[in-house]
Amino acid sequence: MISSYSLKTMKIFPTPPFFLLSVILIGSLFISSQLFALESVTGLQSTQYVHEKGVSPRLDLELSGSSKKDISQFKPDSEFHFTSFFEPGANGDYSADIDQTAVRWKLSENVNFVVGRVHPLLENQYSDQVSPVSALGSVWVQNQSDALFPRVVGWVGVGGSYKPTVEGAPIFTAYFSPLFLPTFSSRMQLSETDAPAGGRFARLPPQNIKINDTLLPLRYDLNVGSLSEILLQPQAYFSMGWFDELHFQAIAWSAPSPNPTPDLSGKLKVTEEDAKILVEVQPRFLRENFFGFLLGADRWLVNPEIQSFYETQSKRIVFSTQIVAFKDYAFGYLHTFETAQAEVQSSGSIQTTESGIYANHLVWMSLDPYSQKKWSPSLRVERSFNPKGEGMWLRPLLTYRPEKQISLFLDAKIIAAQENNYFGAWRHLDSTSAGLRWLW
């Protein structure tokens, strides 16, 4: 058996070279500088991994801006956000992403129109992000390049919202995207001749397989096929919701699955030097239709929320609940219920099974009671009670703000997990970090 999870979360598209990223960044800066009053955050940090010699540096750069004019009580009429990081070295990784970037128009007293890359759910919320530990966030497209801190990202397209003038009437939101971008994870290289390699947090597929008491190396041939067939897939979203002290939204959307289902076939390849199994991998992004709701409270000292969504093709129900108390304490639970017997996929002599699912009896908490103080200790804990293997990671963090624009931090990331758990692939990556962030 080969676990398919590592193959489902790999980067299907090659990471663009830094020259291309530089051109995109410079162009974005020029355009955005004409539209926004930009704000930048630069971060430098150094990390010591327990099982590695030497320290690993990292550079973070974030740019954001928005117009001052409010088009509604929720969103400005234009905004721009750019997020990136670079960690050098053989085990390092990097990412550059432009998300929550849009221009909005008020077509009438009741109708707003938006063009850009946004998450439709946020068009009617004060929040600037969707939580990856929510039911909706866990099944949406994510940027997982920073593996322990995934970001739920938006769609590139057009949409709008309609709010009737009748008091108590629901707000309707619709969004359409002609372009599909899958989930991106840590860097990985697959080769017909060399063993799989990648970034420190890459989920590498198995490197050997035992056949008739003989251990043979596994090599992978990735056949993406036509990129246009992957990218040019439409996505549609519709919601109806009420927003007051209690908020409720009924939501439906149709989109390809953010993570590919791999079609695998294997064959024995013998050369003068050795024998190996060549696994041919063809990713397929199967379309899913989602239906569900979220219900919560916004303006109380203790704000609960529940979310539940049903996937019509996979026949799964994803459920989450969370409680935010006094804005500084948050607790939650995330789980996926399988309503149909999971299928074992096979093609040729290679079989795959699912393992290490994130949304499997996940309990989490976030404590940040001194977020507005000069000295600010905080704690993040995620604990997975997966029956196939338990695991957890926790991050104690201490932040010091000598000035409003400058913050210094010291943290630790501790991972303890069994092999079959979602965190199991990273159980040897305990680390400590120190760094600074500068707002300018």
As given in the structure block, the two tokens for residue 185 are: 């994870």
Comparing CA positions, the residue from 266, 187, 186, 282 lying closest to residue 229 is 282
Residues 6+ apart with CB under 8 A from 128: 100, 122
- Beta strand 101-106 with 275-284 is unpaired
As given in the structure block, the two tokens for residue 88 are: 């050098």
Predicted confidence (pLDDT) per residue in 143-152, tens digit: 988 889 999 9
Cα 60 to Cα 22, 63, 184, 198, 373: the distances in Å are: 14, 10, 18, 20, 23
Q: How many residues does the chain have?
A: 440
Amino acid residing at 346: S
CA distance linking residue 202 with residue 204, whole number of Å: 6
pLDDT recorded at residue 8: 44
Q: Is residue 417 within 8 Å of residue 203, measured between CB atoms? A: no
| CATH at residue 281 | 2.40.160
Q: Is residue 226 within 8 Å of residue 254, measured between CB atoms? A: no
Cα four-point dihedral sign 227, 230, 233, 235:
negative
CA distance linking residue 235 with residue 159, whole number of Å: 12
Burial profile 134-149: b = 16 or more Cβ within 10 angstroms, e = fewer = bbbbbbbbbbbbbbee
Regions in the chain scoring below 50 on pLDDT: 1-19, 342-355
Q: Is residue 38 within 8 Å of residue 80, measured between CB atoms? A: yes
Amino acid residing at 53: K
pLDDT recorded at residue 244: 80
Cα four-point dihedral sign 381, 385, 388, 389:
positive
The upper half-sphere exposure of residue 193, i.e. CA atoms within 13 Å in the direction of its Cβ, equals: 2
Domain total in the chain: 1
Comparing CA positions, the residue from 375, 379, 368, 362 lying closest to residue 407 is 375
Dihedral-angle region of residue 225 (phi above 0 means left; psi in -120 to 50 means alpha; beta otherwise): left
- Domain extent at residue 297: 2-439
Q: Is residue 364 within 8 Å of residue 12, measured between CB atoms? A: no
